[in-house]
Copies of this chain bind each other. A is one copy, B any other.
């Protein structure tokens, strides 16, 4: 099953557009719990509430080889029915980017990855050739500094829109999605219009201050799906105590239900 189908199947069966970011940070995790134990407990507590998981590789790389082992083991303990998005934001050229694609898809076995578009279409081609995988192109990122380049106007059109239109053009295998920050809900609306059928991965809810209601309403397609609403810290660090997994479950239920209430137009 390709990534898009796997994602929609999980979203429908769990009635959830919520993606949980698995970003282990020793300073925020409960004391005495290993990264793998932490992730396992979070996954066991939430796998029936999410449409996907999204580990960001930076947090694992910061822990060296042991961190990467924990990442591989984490991917291994996510149920096959729930897709895993490797948030790697990679970008390089030619034979180099082939090596990244191999590492992410064949090594870790991610169902999808995030990539950086700055190097252009040929730099993404080796990712796209994995036709069953999902490729989320950074389009409009959630940080304030995204304005530095993404907002620049090319013939009155901001760069992030140009990126979205290029993504449409490159999408010959139908496996491209966009990353658009929840902190820019009006841009989500505009990009959803430009790319009516693409998956949109939306980080920036919670700590970063994105507006969940606007992100959901503006992000979904006409079938009210195809938006993936990510939350990391708000869910996995809901408690630093022994009850962290239970607290994560409660936070995930709350957010999933809130998302669903916006979908119903409440």
A145 CB contacts on chain B under 8 angstroms: 119-123
Q: How far is the CB of A115 from chain B (nearest CB, A)?
A: 10
- B93 touching A91, Cβ below 8 Å: no
A166: contacting residue among B94, B143, B148, B150, CB under 8 A? B148
If A149-B118, A153-B154 touch, whether A25 touches B58 (CB-CB below 8 Å) is: no
Which residues from 136 to 159 on chain A have a C-beta closer than 8 Å to any C-beta of chain B? 138, 141-150, 152-154, 159
A149: contacting residue among B62, B65, B159, CB under 8 A? B159
The secondary-structure label for the interface of chain A is helix
- A93 touching B143, Cβ below 8 Å: yes
- A99 touching B62, Cβ below 8 Å: yes
- A99 touching B65, Cβ below 8 Å: no
Tell me whether A59 is interfacial, beta carbon within 8 Å: yes
A116 CB contacts on chain B under 8 angstroms: 89, 91, 116, 118
Tell me whether A23 is interfacial, beta carbon within 8 Å: yes
- A162 touching B152, Cβ below 8 Å: yes
A154: contacting residue among B25, B96, B144, B154, CB under 8 A? B154
- B120 touching A150, Cβ below 8 Å: yes
Query: How many copies make up the complex?
Result: 2
- A162 touching B149, Cβ below 8 Å: yes
A208 CB contacts on chain B under 8 angstroms: 94
- B23 touching A96, Cβ below 8 Å: yes
A147 CB contacts on chain B under 8 angstroms: 120
Of all chain B residues, which has the CB nearest A163?
A: B149
Tell me whether A103 is interfacial, beta carbon within 8 Å: yes
Query: Digit string of A227-265 for contact with B (CB within 8 Å is 1, else 0)?
Result: 000000000000000000000000000000000000000
Selected A-B contacts with CB under 8 Å, 8 pairs: A58-B96, A89-B90, A93-B143, A117-B149, A120-B148, A121-B148, A122-B143, A159-B159
Tell me whether A64 is interfacial, beta carbon within 8 Å: yes
Q: How far is the CB of A184 from chain B (nearest CB, A)?
A: 13
Tell me whether A95 is interfacial, beta carbon within 8 Å: yes
A138 CB contacts on chain B under 8 angstroms: 118-119
- A93 touching B162, Cβ below 8 Å: no
Tell me whether A221 is interfacial, beta carbon within 8 Å: no
Of all chain B residues, which has the CB nearest A119?
A: B141
Tell me whether A92 is interfacial, beta carbon within 8 Å: yes
Q: How far is the CB of A105 from chain B (nearest CB, A)?
A: 11
